[in-house]
Each structure stands twice: as C-alpha cells, then as structure tokens.
Structure 1
Amino acid sequence: MRVVIAGGHGQIALHLERLLAARGDQPVGLIRNPDHAADLREVGAVPVVLDLENSTVEQVAEAAADADAVVFAAGAGPNSGAARKNTVDRDAAVLLADAAEAAGVRRYVMVSSYNADNYDPASTDVFQVYLRAKSEADAAVRGRDLDWTVVRPGSLTTAAGTGEISLGDSVPRGSISREDVAAVLLHVLDFPATVGRQFEVIGGPTPIADAVASYTGKP
C-alpha cells in the first residue's frame, strides 16, 4: 500500500511511516523543509519536498499519484499564530482533498482534534481559531466524494504507546500518545468499515485492533 502523508515530519507521521515501512508498505511523506528528508528515510519513508501553503492542486496531485490513501497529519504547531491555523490546519487539509480527487485517490484519513466542533466563533484566541480550522476542514472533507475517516485524538503526549485506547463517537476528555494515534491510523487504513466515520480517541483499556473492530462492528 502506498500512503502519502501530509506533515510527513510530524511525530504522528514519523510513527506511522515507521509502522507502514516495517510491514512492507510504501509511506511517502510530504515535507516543507528539505533538511528533514534524512529523518524520513531513516524510518523507511520516501520524502517529497512540498510546501502545502504554497502549492497548487496539480502539484499535490502529482505527489499523490498512484497512492492507495492519503493521510492529513500536518499542523501549524503550538507556537504558530492564528493565521497559520487557517492556512495549514484548514486550507492545507482542503488542498489535500482537492488533490486526492484530482489524482483519483479515494481514501482520505484526517487527523483532527478532540472536541473540534465546540469552538467559540466570536473568539480570536489562537486555540479557538485552531478548533474552528479543524472543524471546518473536517466538514470540507466529509462533504467530498471520498472514502474519508476523521480521527479526533485527545491531548497528545510524547509518552511511549501502550497499544490500548478508548474510541467512540464521543469519549471523555483525556490524553493519548502520538505513537498510539499512529497505530490507530494504521488500523483505520486497514479497516474499510471505518470509511465515512468520525470518532474521538484517547488512551484507554482496550487493545487498538479490538477497539477499532468493536467500533465498526466488524472483526
């Protein structure tokens, strides 16, 4: 399986690329900084230098050509301002959806944010702008003729993954390691029954494969 990952140098993306490469799949990471290419090669991914804030649909579609799936794992980062929440967390996600459609890639997996729809539309607070950007990106992807899945993790940590989660349409507020989020994405890519589903996920008591299978109702 060839999987093109936007935000290819992010921590979730690097974990996912490592998992994909380890089982013989071909992860391709879209990165803005060419200095990050060596890190992707180290985990078994193919780096493609492409700045999603300054690229056309055609350029991104070319990078996604022949992919079996695309994953949006990009983010403006915690120290960025409100403007880049919109240009990266929202607009780049929509650009990837446009490119997937242009390239004929149906499978689109979105890494969103817990409680993204519960934002204050009148607030200029950066976190509120971030939630709104995520919510609007999710809505844009759900409205496409794509085989989409929206994954909304809780607070992200750098702890080692436990391999166990809680997953559902709505779950209590909590945290989850980036490594476990990557493992969830891997299972989402493997489970066609997750198409057309949006769910929240935090750390919990259930092995990831069992949680995904139970949620979709299919083993």
Structure 2
Amino acid sequence: MKILVAGANGHTGRLLIKCLNEDGHEPYGMVRKEEQKPGIEELGGTPVLADLERDVGYAVKEMDAVIFAAGSGSSTGPEKTTDVDRDGAINLIKATENLGIKKFVMLSSIGAGRDVQALAQGNERMQHYLQMKKEADEYLSSTELDYTIVRPGGLTHDAGTSKIKVADEVPFENIPRADVAKTMIAAIQEPNAYHKAFEMVSGDTQIEDALKKL
C-alpha cells in the first residue's frame, strides 16, 4: 500500500516510515523542509515536501491510506498548536476525502476524548492542546472515512513489546512510541478498528488481538 505519513520527521513519524517499509508498504513521508528529505530516504521512505497549513492535495494524491502523526511540538505557542494539531489535521482530512481515499489514522492523545477542561484543570497549555486534539478528532469522526483515532499515553523511547492495553479510557501510563507506530499501521488493515477511537498504554495483549477485540 502507498501510505502517506504527515509529521514524518518527528519521533513517531520516523518510526512509522521505518516500520511501513519493513512491512512491505510504500511509505511517503511528508516534511516541511528540503533538508529533511534525506532522513526519510534513509528510513526507506519517499519524501514529499508539503505544509499542513497550505494545500496538501498533491501530497495525498494516489495514496491508499493517510496517517496523521504531526504535532506543533512542546516549544511552540498555542497559536501553532491550533494551526497544526487542529487546523492542519482537518486540512489533511479534507484533502483525503476530496481525493476519495478512505483510510485515515489519527495520532491523538490520551484524554482528548474526555472532559478536557476538568482533566487539565489549572494547566492552560495542556487544556488548549487537548482541546485542539479533541476538535480534530471530532471532525474526523464526523466524516465517512474509515478512520481510526489512536490516543496513547505518555510516549517513551523504550523498545517496543508489541503488547498493549486499549479501551475508551485507560489509566495515564506510558507506552513506547514503537508500539504506537505498530498499532497505527495494524489499524490500517484491521476492519474492526475502523470508525473507532481508543486510548492505549502498554499492556499484556498483542496489538493485532487488541484491535480485533475493540
């Protein structure tokens, strides 16, 4: 499958490109800067220069599936969080719909499906971040795409175990980025994961089995 990864230069995005390539897919990594292209190629992906805040239709064209793994980053302000985490995601979703591509996997955040104001009370930065994720998720769930929304807990650089815990709500625990990437890839080809949103942390269930039991 030809699969576009938005946010391909990020930690999780790079793992997605690497894993997709190893699984025999054709990964295309969306990056914003020319100097980021060689890194995508080294991982086995084809770089695509595009900006989520602008026209991305040409990047999505002829893809079989789209993965949103982009984020504004911890060093930016609330305006950039709005531009990327909500508006950039919605821009990519619209392009996917317009071109008739059905499968879209969203990297969201644990808590984005809950009462954001109560959850992050007293932390305006986190409230805003989760609210933008929540609004992007809600837009995606209103479409006719075969979407999957993945809401991981705290992301670590630990080695993956391929064992996870998934539910509408799970405890605020950690999970290796590698397991998040593998879960997002598995969701593309698991029909039971379509039209679903779930939180996930490390657990005792193999990824494929966990998705079949959603």
User: What TM-score do you get using the length of structure 1 for normalisation?
Assistant: 0.92
SS of equivalent residue, structure 1 residue 13: helix
Map 1:86-101; keep pairs closer than 5 Å: 86-101=82-97
Deviations 1:167-203 (A, max 9, x none): 1122111111111100101110120121100101001
Deviations 1:20-77 (A, max 9, x none): 1112210111111221111111111111111112x12xxx121111111101100001
Separation (CA, whole Å) in 1 of partners of 2:204 and 2:90: 34
Separation (CA, whole Å) in 2 of partners of 1:124 and 1:151: 23
Opposite residue 90 of structure 1, the aligned amino acid is R
- Within the alignment, does 1:175 sit opposite 2:174 as a pair? yes
Q: 1:124 Cα deviation (Å)?
A: 7.7
* 1:50 equivalent in structure 2: 50
* 1:119 equivalent in structure 2: 116
Using a 3 Å threshold, how does the CA distance of structure 1 residues 80 and 99 change in structure 2: closer, same or farther?
A: same
Contact 1:123/1:129 (CA < 8 Å) preserved in 2? no
Mean Cα deviation higher: 114-123 or 162-171: 114-123
SS of equivalent residue, structure 2 residue 150: strand
Any gaps of 5 or more consecutive residues in structure 1?
none
Q: 1:204 Cα deviation (Å)?
A: 1.0
How many pairs are equivalent?
Answer: 211
Contact 1:142/1:148 (CA < 8 Å) preserved in 2? yes
Q: 1:2 Cα deviation (Å)?
A: 0.5
Opposite residue 20 of structure 1, the aligned amino acid is L
Contact 1:62/1:103 (CA < 8 Å) preserved in 2? no
Contact 2:5/2:66 (CA < 8 Å) preserved in 1? yes
Identity %: 37
- Within the alignment, does 1:108 sit opposite 2:104 as a pair? yes
SS of equivalent residue, structure 1 residue 135: helix
Any gaps of 5 or more consecutive residues in structure 2?
none
Q: 1:162 Cα deviation (Å)?
A: 1.5
Separation (CA, whole Å) in 1 of partners of 2:196 and 2:23: 25
Separation (CA, whole Å) in 1 of partners of 2:81 and 2:211: 29
* 2:40 equivalent in structure 1: 40
Contact 2:85/2:133 (CA < 8 Å) preserved in 1? yes
